[in-house]
């Protein structure tokens, strides 16, 4: 009997290792989302894409299902269970971030109205008086707060939240001082009250968004 000859791979073909292919495929996918943000948590970096919808998701949102990674919003379809729903974190975080923008817009709009019942502040753009007053400080803080809230809305970072909170507190404090200490022989009008409300809404929205962001994602 002739001795069996060892089987050699043809020169043009190299035997593939399934484990190596899976590892390489996973590395490619991870590299694709290395600089993306989670669709549910904008302040967190994405580690993978949902195998169903292809959207980037972070570690808390990634749910392994039968060798694939599924985002929470696609679990009900993948597992055939209508009771599984997407976590409310995204909706709450988005509502909070939009609340910061709404508060900043309200604070800026308040500077257009009268800030005192008599004197230089009793006119259109009553906060913007030539002399240095608390109304002017509140107006400048409100204008600076607006881009900070929009940046926080887009990025959702910790530093963005800090800027919003700092700017909102500045608006509230300056507006409160304008109410408590108006110019001599003058009384505060409705402008500082609206500005203080807008600053407080912006601060509350930033805090609420950060609280929701820190909550761990729901898994199944």
Pairing of strands 63-65, 68-70: antiparallel
Which pLDDT band, with edges at 50, 70 and 90, does 93 fall under? low
SS (H, E, C) the chain: CCCCCCCCCCCCCCCCCHHHHHHHHHHHHHHHCCCCECCCCCCCECCEECCCCCCEECCCCCEEECCEEECHHHHHHHHCCCCCCCCCHHHHHHHHHHHHHHHHHHHHHHCCCCCECCHHHCCCCCCCCCCCCHHHHHHHHHHHHHHHHHHHHHHCCHHHHHHHHHHHHHHHHHHHHHHHCCCCCCCECCHHHHHHHHHHHHHHHHHHHHHHHHCCCCCC
* Residue pLDDT, tens place only, 18-31: 444 444 455 555 55
pTM, two decimals, is: 0.65
Token reading at 11: 């020169």
pLDDT of 154 strictly over 90: no
* Residue pLDDT, tens place only, 164-184: 999 999 999 999 999 999 999
Q: Nearest CA to 37 among 21, 9, 56, 65?
A: 56
Distance (Å, rounded) from C-alpha 150 to C-alpha 139? 17
Q: Which is higher by pLDDT, 96 or 67?
A: 67
Token reading at 200: 């407080």
- The residue extents of the domains of the chain are 21-79, 89-209
Q: Determine phi and psi for 127, rounding to 5 degrees.
A: -75, -25
Q: Which residues pair with 57 in a beta bridge?
A: 48
The pLDDT of residue 89: 55
- The CA radius of gyration of the chain, in Å to the nearest whole number, is 28
First to last CA, the chain: 60
The pLDDT of residue 9: 46
* Residue pLDDT, tens place only, 187-209: 999 999 999 999 999 999 999 88
Token reading at 6: 């060892």
Token reading at 82: 């209508």
pLDDT of 10 strictly over 90: no
């Amino acid at each position: 009997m002739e001795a069996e000859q060892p089987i050699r791979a043809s020169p043009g073909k190299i035997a593939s290792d399934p484990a190596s292919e899976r590892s390489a495929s996973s590395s490619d996918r991870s590299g694709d989302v290395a600089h993306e943000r989670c669709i549910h948590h904008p302040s967190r970096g994405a580690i993978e894409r949902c195998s169903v919808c292809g959207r980037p998701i972070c570690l808390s949102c990634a749910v392994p299902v039968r060798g694939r990674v599924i985002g929470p919003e696609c679990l009900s379809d993948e597992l055939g269970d209508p009771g599984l729903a997407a976590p409310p974190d995204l909706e709450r975080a988005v509502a909070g971030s939009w609340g910061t923008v709404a508060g900043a817009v309200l604070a800026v709009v308040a500077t257009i109205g009268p800030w005192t019942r008599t004197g230089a502040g009793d006119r259109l753009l009553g906060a913007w008086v030539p002399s240095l007053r608390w109304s002017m400080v509140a107006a400048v803080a409100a204008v600076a707060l607006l881009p900070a809230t929009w940046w926080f809305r887009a990025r959702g970072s910790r530093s963005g939240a800090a800027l919003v909170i700092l700017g909102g507190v500045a608006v509230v404090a300056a507006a409160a001082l304008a109410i408590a200490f108006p110019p001599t022989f003058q009384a505060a009008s409705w402008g500082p009250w609206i500005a203080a409300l807008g600053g407080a809404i912006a601060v509350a929205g930033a805090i609420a968004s950060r609280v929701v962001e820190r909550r761990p994602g729901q898994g199944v």
